[in-house]
Amino acid sequence: MDNSSPLCADQSRPFFQRTPAADWHDALPSGNGVLGACVYGGVYTERVCLNHEGLWIGTRTQELPDVSTSLPHVRNLLDQGELEKAEHVYRDALTEQGYQGSIGRSHPAADLCCCRPPIHRHRNYRRSLDMTTGEVTVSWSERKFQLSRRLFVSRADDLIVWELSADAGTVSASFSLGPHDLNDAIDM
């Protein structure tokens, strides 16, 4: 990949938003290929959707059958510019071998919620994703205090790390773990 491309340059800066996510489409993701977390970013009620690579609704990906005998014909069609025909030949060969290609849908493990009472009106809200480290940060201020929550998924330790902090005093909150709304999961 060309390191001068805009995509590479943008990776050095975090992606940020000024409002919490309304649904999972707008939640900021962090993951390591096995574990995943989507941070919604609510100030007083935070929800983190947790996931694991082994959780699926429906079927998992089937192993691809050997359809190498059709490869010369597919290559010939591709050389002639017949892309659609080549795709049909390949799909037909897979279907004849019993391949269905259904992978099912990802099934979230649970929602981890953090609730705290609104004490003062919040200001300076920011929700960000560091594209280099995968760390998601939600920060805001209440009166003269700065509060934040940081989350990342460790590759080395295969765990999700979530830190809550305030620059003065303690943070009081309640935590709960519950099922993710499966209607939302079906839409994934």
Task: Identify the domain boundary among 42, 71, 102.
Answer: 102
Tell whether 130 is covered by a domain: yes
The answer to whether residue 42 sits within a structural domain is yes
Claim to verify: residue 124 and residue 35 sit in the same structural domain: yes
| Average pLDDT over every residue of 81-95 | 90
pLDDT score of 61: 63
CATH value at residue 49? 2.70.98.50
Same domain, 51 and 86: no
Residue 126 domain-assigned (yes or no)? yes
Same domain for 81 and 174: no
- The tens digit of pLDDT for each residue in 126-150 reads 999 999 999 999 999 988 889 999 9
pLDDT at 4 over 90: no
Q: What is the pTM of this model?
A: 0.70
3 state SS for 130-178: CCCCCCEEEEEEECCEEEEEEEEEECCCCEEEEEEEECCCCCCCEEEEE
Residue 1 included in any domain: no
Q: Are residues 158 and 172 in the same domain?
A: yes
Q: Are residues 131 and 47 in the same domain?
A: yes
- 120 with 29, same domain: the answer is yes
Amino acid residing at 122: H
Clarify whether residues 93 and 27 are in a common domain.
no
- Residue 82, domain extent: 61-102
**Among residues 9, 7, 16, 29, which one has the least CA distance to residue 160?**
29
Does the pLDDT value for residue 3 go beyond 80?
no
Q: Tens of pLDDT along 161-175? A: 999 998 877 778 999
Dump pLDDT digits (tens) for 8-19.
445 567 789 999
